Structure 1
Amino acid sequence: MANAIAVPLTGFMTQRFGQVRLFVASVILFMISSLLCGLAPNMTTLIAFRALQGFVAGPMIPLSQTLLLSSYPRAKAGLAMAMWSMTTLVAPVMGPLLGGWITDNISWPWIFYINIPVGIVAAAITWVLYRKRESLTHKVPIDAIGLALLVIWVGALQLMLDKGKELDWFHSAQIVTLAVVAVVGFAFFLIWELTEKHPVVDLSLFKRRNFWSGAVATAVAYGLFFGNVVLLPLWLQQWMGYTATQAGMVMAPVGLLAIFLSPVVGLTIAKVDPRRYATFSFLVFALVLWMRSTFNTQADFGTIMIPTFIQGIAMAFFFIPLVTVTLSGLTPDRIPAASGLSNFLRITAGAMGTSIATTLWENRATLHHAQLAESINQGNIAATSAMSGLASNGFSTEQVMGQINRLVDQQSFMLASNDIFYASAVLFLLLIPLVWFARPQSGGAGSDAAAGAH
């Protein structure tokens, strides 16, 4: 929630403090908050420090993109985008692998402590390389009302998404209240920001066809991607007997093809219509999710890993073309605000994708459980044979029914996973026309604009 609030403020804070100072300060504060998270004595304190960590990390992603692009000549902007996209897409997948290994073999606080040496190196290198290339700053009036409205509606939305499944969504008065606050708060925020002379979030960016089509396509696709990234390890750990490390290893191969193909995409993006690359990415994502929709409880490690390996192709062709479309035609001074706003949409969509995927997963599992349970009767030879076999091995009636129920649960959640994977594949196909709403771009227009950010 805190991160989602901070990200769209990047453009405003950059104007007041400068890109380099803001990025270095963000990294340093992130290290401090990581240390505090690791030292947290209880869950309440940990949640508070995690909120702080999320807020101070807000400017890091959009500014990392801006600073990296400013280091490359326009002709190599695509390569810079490739490097940036690899970390953005691979990190959410590799994170669970590293986190699972640390949790299984060391202890959970080290998930936070590991950020400290990395942060020290990042802050030091950034300051040494960029301190003499600071962006121009000027004192922009603080849009206090816009900021307050942003905190209210985003906070309500994130709390609704976080608590929705736990409280049974709109059957809960608390969730209904949060939804009303989010909708009303957003409406007031929209009206205020569109009429404010110095808005905290530059909504005028949505007047540009390339920005809104690229940003929305990126956000929805990322929501689908991230929802499935969360769902697959969850299914493997809860119903396939995988440890956290093993589930992470299933996801690890996704980076292999992405690492090799991303530079190729970056080097050729100036010669190819980025919409073609984005379309190809969505087609491969759809193929991968369709393959996962055919899984069963007998699927072995290799079978589950193959779609993950292929997904690396989709990831390589995902971010670079869509960011190119989103930023195309913008002047350098608007890049931080545009990057911050598009990343805000992406992060919010990721949270929504996770909540929707896990909620639908459990709801579909309940439906499949009821349907499978109806088929377990005296007329079902397989079920009768299985129960007789368990009883002959000394299991009591209660134990037999417990074992059967466990098998039904396993099948139910597998079928529910297949439903989510299949629906996600269809949605990726339906997203393709949105990409083509953007105007045809001459090669590398978006990358060129971004490259001139300094």
Structure 2
Amino acid sequence: MRLHPIYILRITGLLDGISLLVLLGIAMPLKYIWGIEQAVTIVGSIHGGIFCLYAAAILYAAIRVRWNLLWSAAALLAAFIPLGNFLLDRKLKKAQASYSVKPVSHALLVYSIVFFSFFDLFSQLPVMSTFATSVGASSFIVGFVIGLYSLSNTLGNILSGIMTDKIGPFKILMAGLLLTSIALLLYHFVDQPAFLIAVRILHGFVAGLIVPAAFTFSANTTTNEQQGKKVAFTGTFVGLAAIIGPAFSGIMASKTSVPFVFTCVAIMGLLLAFLSAVFLGKYKIAKKEKDAAVVHSSSLLFNAGVIKAYGGAFFLMFSQGAIAYLLPLHVQTLGYDSRLSGTLMSTFGIIAVLIFVLPTNRIFDRVAPSRTMAIGIGLMGLSQLVISQSTTTLTLYIVLGLYGVGFAFLFPSINTMLIKATPAELRGKAYGYFYAFFSLGVVAGSSVLGWLPFNIIEGFSFTGIILLLFAVFVAFNKEREHALNH
């Protein structure tokens, strides 16, 4: 008799909860009161390993049970709350009788791959600068190493798009998952800046193979009438990665080590590679006959809708880079604890996820993407202007919530716009360039504001004005919105 996926989740969840209590209640007192540092190292490593199994169980349950995504979100959040797993277990025990095991959903597996890719990215944010310093990197090399990932990621995105159109998304997904997992394991051997630079180039490049192929697979297996809703669900997994990734790596790195954190992420990648080989490899995408005009016309890859989608991707991440660069400085100048920056960023992620998951996601199939895109980029620009004038924690939370609404409107809109503006035969290449603009936006957002002679308020104002101007451009230059079905 096969074990129910929820039962497996409950067992691993209880083990995770017990190991967390041992870490907090026994190992940490042994370290900080009696000076036995090995206690946290040993117990933290065990807890990290159990958490990897627990995360795999959450993924397996989501794929086989197909329950509401809020269950998966609650299971992940419970892992960071003492006694959270035990409280959740009561709910899971009741739910186990209500949910039957279903065939593997290729859509949820692709969502999980998207989550892994962005979880890998966001888990680097709190730890990479300190890790680079620990292996002897100068302040210049630290900044160079962080930006280098995005630059090499851009090349991976472009290659992924080109190869996806030629050999299909499945093979590129498999290559990306396996090579990214190997690259993550290489951090264990980094002991000098030169080797770290080499690993960062490799890691960024192979990680860049995943997302364009995943989004192409998803787009090519979805009807045009459901593209907006499905992209919104995909955004849910991006948002969850943005919320959970930094918290996971920050906590685990403080208890164990940065290479151990990356090993946990690598295990997730290897598990997804195995599941993809078993289930996605058997899934056949219906092939459409290629129109010779479509195949040979590069103009279809750079029509008005595609260019707007690329612009939206660039300015979305430009805004993110500005937030990451300026918000901690703004919070610090106001005299608040630096932890407030982290909770503010989590706030915008939580708001975005709620809009993605709740029935509000239907708007992306009912309203033209150019309109929701203009609204999203406009709200993000407005929030940038208001952040600089916010001086209390309440107003900062409200403004970041507004920013989250804008993000939630923009992300599905630009994806839907790209899908509707490109034929399936060119969609891989289109997504490759699309996520290359994502990567370039991250680099530009922080570096441009660092180069310009702006103070914090001027930096926020400059970013807000740029976003609002782009919103006006989108609103008053409506694209030719039609699906390319032939």
TM-score bucket (shorter structure):
0.5 to 0.7
Distance 1:95 1:303, change over 3 A: farther
Distance 1:129 1:266, change over 3 A: farther
- 2-side partners of 1:423 and 1:5: how far apart? 29
The structure 2 residue matched to 1:230, chosen from 325, 343, 352, is 325
Q: Answer yes or no: is 1:130 the counterpart of 2:224.
A: no
Paired letter, 2:471: I
Q: Tell me whether 253-262 or 229-238 shows the greater mean CA deviation.
A: 229-238
Paired letter, 1:328: K
> What is the CA-CA distance between 1:327 and the residue it aligns to?
2.8
Q: Answer yes or no: is 1:328 the counterpart of 2:478.
A: no
- 2-side partners of 1:239 and 1:110: how far apart? 35
Distance 1:106 1:261, change over 3 A: same
The structure 1 residue matched to 2:456, chosen from 417, 430, 434, is 417
- 2-side partners of 1:109 and 1:5: how far apart? 25
- Match for residue 87 of structure 1? 237
**Superposition CA RMSD, Å:** 3.0
User: Which residues of structure 1 form unaligned runs of 5+?
Assistant: 138-197, 365-415
Aligned residues: 327
- Match for residue 35 of structure 1? 185
Paired letter, 1:285: M
Distance 1:76 1:103, change over 3 A: same
CA contact (8 A) 1:98 1:248 kept: no
CA contact (8 A) 1:77 1:266 kept: no
Distance 1:239 1:127, change over 3 A: farther
Alignment of structure 1 residues 297-446 onto 2, 5 Å: 299-300=392-393, 302-360=394-452, 363-364=453-454, 416-436=455-475, 437-441=477-481, 445=483
The structure 2 residue matched to 1:118, chosen from 232, 249, 268, is 268
Alignment of structure 1 residues 138-217 onto 2, 5 Å: 204-217=299-312
> What is the CA-CA distance between 1:52 and the residue it aligns to?
0.5
The structure 2 residue matched to 1:254, chosen from 348, 356, 379, is 348
Deviation string for 1:105-151 (max 9, x for gaps)? 443223422312221232223223210235699xxxxxxxxxxxxxx
Percent of aligned pairs with the same residue? 21
> What is the CA-CA distance between 1:419 and the residue it aligns to?
1.4
- Kindly name which structure, 1 or 2, has the bigger radius of gyration based on alpha carbons: 1
- 1-side partners of 2:348 and 2:416: how far apart? 23
Deviation string for 1:172-207 (max 9, x for gaps)? xxxxxxxxxxxxxxxxxxxxxxxxxx99xx964454
Distance 1:116 1:229, change over 3 A: same
Distance 1:358 1:111, change over 3 A: farther
Q: What SS class does the counterpart of residue 367 from structure 2 fall into? A: coil
- 2-side partners of 1:82 and 1:54: how far apart? 25
Q: What SS class does the counterpart of residue 252 from structure 1 fall into? A: helix
- Match for residue 372 of structure 2? 277
CA contact (8 A) 2:384 2:464 kept: yes
Distance 1:31 1:240, change over 3 A: farther
> What is the CA-CA distance between 1:89 and the residue it aligns to?
5.2
- 2-side partners of 1:41 and 1:30: how far apart? 20
CA contact (8 A) 2:227 2:416 kept: no
TM-score (norm 1): 0.64
- 2-side partners of 1:253 and 1:337: how far apart? 34
> What is the CA-CA distance between 1:64 and the residue it aligns to?
1.6
- 2-side partners of 1:110 and 1:359: how far apart? 35
> What is the CA-CA distance between 1:11 and the residue it aligns to?
2.7
Distance 1:22 1:108, change over 3 A: same
